[in-house]
Amino acid sequence: MQKERTAYRQVLTDLLDPWPPEIGHALRRLDAEIGGIYLSGGTVRDRLLGRAAGDLDLTVARDAAGCCRALIGLLGGGAFVELGRSGEDVARVVWRGLTVDFAGFRGRAETIAEDLCRRDYTVNAMAVPFDSLGGGKEAELIDPLHGCDDLRQGILRACPGAYDDDPLRMLRGFRFMASLDFAFDAASLAEIGRCADLIARPAVERISYELGLIMDSPRACPTFRAMDGAGLLRHIAPELYAGVGVEQPEFHHLDVFHHSFAAFEQMEAIIAQPGRHYPQAAGRLDAYLAAGPSRRCLKWAALCHDIGKPAAQAVAFENGRITFHNHDEIGRRIFRLFAERLKWSKEERERTGQLIAMHMHPFHLCNVRRSEPLSKRAVLKLSQRAGADLDGLFLLAMADSLASRGEKKPPRMEAELVELFGQVLQIIAEDIRPVAVGPPLLTGDDLITELGLSPGPIFRTILQELEALRVEGRITAREEAIAWVTAFIADGAGDGAELP
Ligand SMILES: Nc1ccn([C@@H]2O[C@H](COP(=O)(O)OP(=O)(O)OP(=O)(O)O)[C@@H](O)[C@H]2O)c(=O)n1
């Protein structure tokens, strides 16, 4: 403890070190002019924790916007950003990529200590007066709720009335749990149980933002479990709770809800070490996971992959077995409504939905492979449909499989997935890519000009089918392609005729 205390002291003398000196000089001059500027909130918390410095959070008595404009004047540049949350005195300066936030005292607070007591968590309720910084002396720490002690012990303790003032703070707490690896104190957790339904009040964009940060942390699954335990998750994602108590066939050992969490947990572990599960594809999996929102989409897909099962559940008349026909497609639709409600970006919504809709494909192909060799056509269809998420699909299948431990589960399921993925990649590399490098035999324009067709969804079917026939070597020339399309249309393709 003594050692930690010394380290904290050290930081309190060097608080501004991570930021460019120009910022320190300009703020010092501003403080000399107006007085009463405090470093506060996340800035103090993160510096005391020795974490990388991010934004600068500053508190003043009032007129955050005026402070921003004055700072821009002193810096000789920077952009003013209106934060525009109604009733809050907050504003931002962005200068050379650095964010400086000013906030006036909250509510009717008249002193910094009163302002701090109106914040979310004690670990965020500390401030350092700007005029106590510098000169090699230890800065003064204003800490009315003993946040420093909580910080040392990794405790998230809500400030009095925190959740009634802003219910989003419940979710912020879980975000800090995920990002800082902190734990709630029992009273704060109980308070979340009491206030959970208030989470309907904040704007969904704020909720989505926090959920996204939780998903991006390496502790998303335990954090979601804690949100479930506290009674908060059911108010954010009630769709998941339709799976509680929904029994599954002998392939599984858990009901739908608990299986979904088990898959989520497996997914988080797989993401940490994808090469452990698919050694032959370690490099490409690392690249896939590093790109865009892949990790976030995969974790959501794992948690929601069976979200369609409660609605799809039926009992087969012949043998009394439980079935979930079409649960993947139904799941995609339920998920889409959830993601639209939370105003997700189109990319995240569609990629996650597509993973959910396709999560059974690798298992179907494993079934097929037990009785016949894997065809180029099957691999082409899979890779066309999965698009950028072919790798993700196999990671999701692995998580799903590892989360199922029922008596009737095929004994080599995970090994089969590894073999299948290996073969899929081999067929893509040896048979599909070399063919696909050339220009397509026909384009959408050709279908219009050469064949007089009107554009519509059938174009996609035709072009993908032509590609499959080309990969199989059954059509190699443009004339053959035109002849095939002509025959296909004449056969009544638009009326749902069978593809050859
Ligand atoms: N709903 C909120 C949001 C913020 N705060 C207070 O305002 C400070 C700054 O808020 P913000 O920048 O949003 O969060 P940080 O705690 O700085 O964390 P991060 O920057 O990692 O989001 C917080 O530390 C906290 O004291 C609060 O009390 N209630």
pLDDT at 287 exceeding the cut of 70:
yes
Between strands 98-104 and 56-60, the pairing is: parallel
Closest-CA residue, ligand 1 atom 14, reads 42
92 lines ligand 1 (CB under 6 A): no
pLDDT at 495 exceeding the cut of 60:
no
Same domain, 344 and 212: no
pLDDT of residue 84: 67
Same domain, 25 and 120: yes
pLDDT tens track for 64-110: 999 999 999 999 999 999 886 677 899 999 999 999 999 999 999 99
Give the amino acid at 473: G
Same domain, 290 and 422: yes
The set of long-range contacts for 164-169, using a CB threshold of 8 Å and a minimum separation of 24, is 164/195, 164/198, 165/107, 165/118, 166/120, 166/202, 167/195, 167/198, 167/199, 167/201, 167/202, 168/199, 168/202, 168/206, 168/207, 168/210, 169/120, 169/121
Closest-CA residue, ligand 1 atom 22, reads 42
Instruction: Give the pLDDT band (50/70/90) at residue 329.
Output: very high
- For ligand 1, the distance from its centroid to the CA atom of residue 42, given in whole angstroms, is 6
* Domain final residue pick, 208, 236, 264: 236
Ligand 1 atom having least distance to the Cα of 179: 21
The mean predicted confidence, pLDDT, of the chain is 92
pLDDT tens track for 54-66: 899 999 999 999 9
pLDDT of residue 268: 98
Closest-CA residue, ligand 1 atom 23, reads 41
pLDDT at 335 exceeding the cut of 80:
yes
pLDDT tens track for 126-157: 999 999 988 778 899 999 999 999 999 999 99
Same domain, 382 and 414: yes
* Domain final residue pick, 206, 236, 266: 236
DSSP 215-265: HHSTTHHHHHHHHHHTT-HHHH-HHHHTTTT----TT-SS-HHHHHHHHHH
Average pLDDT over residues 251-262: 92
Answer yes or no: is 481 within a domain. Answer: yes
- For ligand 1, the distance from its centroid to the CA atom of residue 130, given in whole angstroms, is 19
pLDDT at 45 exceeding the cut of 80:
yes
Which secondary structure element, helix H or strand E, spans residue 43, and what is its range? Answer: helix 41-48
Closest-CA residue, ligand 1 atom 29, reads 120
CATH of residue 123's domain is: 3.30.460.10
202 lines ligand 1 (CB under 6 A): no
Q: Can you tell me the distance from the alpha carbon of 424 to that of 375, in angstroms, rounded to the nearest whole number? A: 9
124 lines ligand 1 (CB under 6 A): yes
Beta strand segments in 379-474, E: none
* Domain final residue pick, 152, 172, 189: 152
pLDDT at 497 exceeding the cut of 50:
no
CATH of residue 316's domain is: 1.10.3210
State the DSSP code for 119: S
Same domain, 307 and 413: yes
Answer yes or no: is 369 within a domain. Answer: yes
Q: Which of 38, 89, 90, 120 to mutate to test the pocket of ligand 1 (most atoms within 8 A of CB)?
A: 120
Same domain, 111 and 24: yes
pLDDT at 360 exceeding the cut of 50:
yes
Instruction: Give the pLDDT band (50/70/90) at residue 434.
Output: confident
- For ligand 1, the distance from its centroid to the CA atom of residue 265, given in whole angstroms, is 28
pLDDT of residue 498: 41
Supply angle C-alpha 127, 133, 139, rounded to 5: 60
166 lines ligand 1 (CB under 6 A): yes
pLDDT at 493 exceeding the cut of 50:
yes
Average pLDDT over residues 98-124: 97
Tell me which of 320 and 448 has the higher pLDDT: 448
Q: Hey, is 60 helix, strand or coil?
A: strand
115 lines ligand 1 (CB under 6 A): no
Q: How many independent structural domains does the chain possess?
A: 4
pLDDT of residue 3: 63
Question: What ipTM does this complex have?
Answer: 0.98
Ligand 1 atom having least distance to the Cα of 119: 28
pLDDT tens track for 162-200: 999 999 999 999 999 999 999 999 999 999 999 999 999
Same domain, 488 and 374: no
Same domain, 228 and 288: no
pLDDT tens track for 12-31: 888 888 899 999 999 999 99
- For ligand 1, the distance from its centroid to the CA atom of residue 125, given in whole angstroms, is 9
pLDDT at 427 exceeding the cut of 60:
yes
Same domain, 139 and 180: no
Same domain, 109 and 207: no
Average pLDDT over residues 394-415: 92
pLDDT of residue 66: 96
- For ligand 1, the distance from its centroid to the CA atom of residue 296, given in whole angstroms, is 23
- For ligand 1, the distance from its centroid to the CA atom of residue 222, given in whole angstroms, is 23
Q: Can you tell me the distance from the alpha carbon of 88 to that of 368, in angstroms, rounded to the nearest whole number? A: 61
Residues of the chain by 3-state class (helix, strand, coil), percent to 5: 60, 10, 30
Count of residues for the chain?
Answer: 500
Same domain, 27 and 123: yes
Same domain, 228 and 325: no
CATH of residue 206's domain is: 1.10.110.30
Answer yes or no: is 35 within a domain. Answer: yes
378 lines ligand 1 (CB under 6 A): no
Supply angle C-alpha 362, 299, 254, rounded to 5: 70
145 lines ligand 1 (CB under 6 A): no
- For ligand 1, the distance from its centroid to the CA atom of residue 41, given in whole angstroms, is 6
Q: Which domain holds residue 232?
A: 154-236
pLDDT of residue 16: 87
pLDDT of residue 275: 96
Q: Name which of 318, 323, 400, 320 is nearest 358 in CA terms.
A: 400
Give alpha helix (H) positions in 60-117.
64-75, 112-117
